[in-house]
Amino acid sequence: MTLTVPLVLTFSASDPTAGAGLQADALTVSALGAHPLTILTGLTAQNTVGVARFEACSLDWIEDQLKTLLDDGIAPCAIKTGVLGSAVAVAAVLKAKALWPSVPLVVDPVRASGRGDAFGGQALFDSYRNELFPVVDLLTPNWPEAQAFTGANSVDEAGERLLQMGCKAVLLKGEHLESGDVVNRLYVAGHRVVEFPCERLPGQFHGSGCTLASACAVGLGQGLSVQDAVELALEYTWQALSCAFVAGKGQLIPDRMHLMQHLEDDENEGYDNPN
């Protein structure tokens, strides 16, 4: 018997710690029962403290990676982007979306690391707004990113402006907003705003945005509605953050494989040890 496994295509840069970037995407997609297809958009020398160096991949390298998938007859059920790093990477994502127009596209519009290390300049910023946003099915910005793209003074204003730029749905993350609990807000054109509050966890996390966007892509790729995909992705991400571990001197790394621990616990509870 041959099994069919959902395929999720991710465009992002590398991270030697696997806390963020392409490796974090792959871990998340795998943990949720899908298979990751990965296109490298840039190389980083980074750790849990910050980014020491970043170099964007050239267009021919990105396009050749995509071409090899096409030549093999491989097609994704969802596409997710993280660090693109250059306008040429945006062009490659647009090509992928044109090849598979019905496949949902989730964009985490990463402009800088959590510490503030930049991953692109004005050309990339303009490409996001003018070219990529009009074909995005779900955008997952944090408040600083949303404010930078829109110039809005409030969360709701930012959400509405991003919808006006062409995004079909926007999940505006609330971790940077001053509040007790974190409140994530989902904006969908023609629908009321849906709020997803959750407990604010202590500490700083490396790759939380990668985790959330990749989990959303898995849900959408499996045919869930935007609201259901977001709700499940937020729950999975919160659990991964609550189980985060120390790997270096800086931010904690989310445990994307925490579901495996729960599975082991359940199996052990039902196991009758003869000894």
User: Which domains are assigned to the chain?
Assistant: 7-267 (3.40.1190.20)
- Between the alpha carbon of residue 44 and those of residues 66, 84, 133, 204, the distances in Å are 20, 12, 25, 20
Residue 272 pLDDT level (bands cut at 50, 70, 90): very low
Which range (28-37, 225-234, 264-273) has the least confidence?
A: 264-273
CA-based end-to-end distance of the chain: 37
Mean pLDDT, residues 38-59 taken together: 95
Q: Which of 207, 155, 160 is nearest to 184 (CA)?
A: 155
Angle ∠(105,155,9) on CA atoms, nearest 5: 15
pLDDT mean over 206-223: 97
Tell me what pLDDT residue 274 has: 42
Contact 220, 237 (CB under 8 A): no
Question: Mean pLDDT, to the nearest integer, of 147-161?
Answer: 96
Mean pLDDT of 43-55: 94
pLDDT-derived band at 179 (thresholds 50, 70, 90) equals confident
Whether 85 has a pLDDT exceeding 80, the answer reads yes
Q: What is the pLDDT of residue 271?
A: 39
Give percent above pLDDT 90 in the chain. 83
The residue with tokens 């709020």 is: 195
User: How far apart (Å, rounded) are the C-alpha atoms in residues 186 and 216?
Assistant: 12
Whether the per-residue pLDDT at 273 is higher than 50: the answer is no
Return the half-sphere exposure (C-beta side, CA atoms, 13 A cut-off) of residue 101: 2
Using CA atoms, how far residue 117 sits from 54, 60, 74, 83, 210, in Å, is 9, 25, 34, 12, 16
Please give the model's pTM, rounded to 2 decimal places.
0.92
pLDDT above 90: residue 121: no
User: Could you identify the residue written with the tokens 């995909």?
Assistant: 229
Q: Report how far residue 238's alpha carbon sits from residue 22's, in angstroms, rounded to the nearest whole number.
A: 20
For residue 70, what are its two tokens? 């096409």
